[in-house]
Amino acid sequence: NAGVMQNPRHLVRRRGQEARLRCSPMKGHSHVYWYRQLPEEGLKFMVYLQKENIIDESGMPKERFSAEFPKEGPSILRIQQVVRGDSAAYFCASSQQGLNTEAFFGQGTRLTVV
Amino acid sequence: AQTVTQSQPEMSVQEAETVTLSCTYDTSENNYYLFWYKQPPSRQMILVIRQEAYKQQNATENRFSVNFQKAAKSFSLKISDSQLGDTAMYFCAFMRYSGGGADGLTFGKGTHLIIQP
């Protein structure tokens, strides 16, 4: 049973370009969470999704950022018109529904905006 | 909103010593979970230990144990017989639990633990 898979591991974008980060949850997991980690900081919650639904996006910037978790395929975190301040590590975690509340993390995608 | 505070940015101990990392949190919730995650240089987030707020007994996982003081909103991590491989960032995290499923985690800023040979 593969763990949470994130790709790419490293992504370099020029200012103004779009960044797409992918996350495939663990098999059987229907809940996906995205977090951002700035240097020397803890992880900050961005968005919580279930299949085809955004449950909580209170941590997501209102502009340029969007997330989806389609019925088929991975969850996508999309950042449009990237700026230098978007440079960070982005982590995805997944969990099962119900009483199993343990979230398993992917290895993260390090986005560098140049 | 919840907040998690880790007041020790960095700690350093000798191998085989015992070390305690502190964490306090603030919440008005009654049902929640607390976690300690380890992040080694590989950046992988690894769950170390979990505590359900409704359980009075402190969680233990091999060399790792917690001191959960619900009234004081304190959740410290004790690492016994520390090993070089324990060197990492350690994050304390809070999660509100509602009947429909789990919410996102709120993390502290982390403690960088260094185990000296």
Nearest CA in chain A to B99: A98
Per-residue pLDDT band for A101 (boundaries 50, 70, 90) equals low
| DSSP structure class, residue A103 | P
Return the closest-CA partner of residue B59 out of B74, B48, B71, B72: B48
- A54 close to B (CB below 8 A): no
Q: Which residues of B touch A103 (CB under 8 A)?
A: 47, 102, 105
Q: Would you state the pLDDT for residue B98? A: 66
pLDDT tens for residues A52-84? Answer: 899 889 899 999 999 999 999 999 999 999 999
Residue A34 structure tokens:
């995205």
Burial (0-12, 13-18, 19+ Cβ within 10 Å), A73: exposed
Amino acid at A53: N
* Residues lower than pLDDT 70 in chain B: 98-103
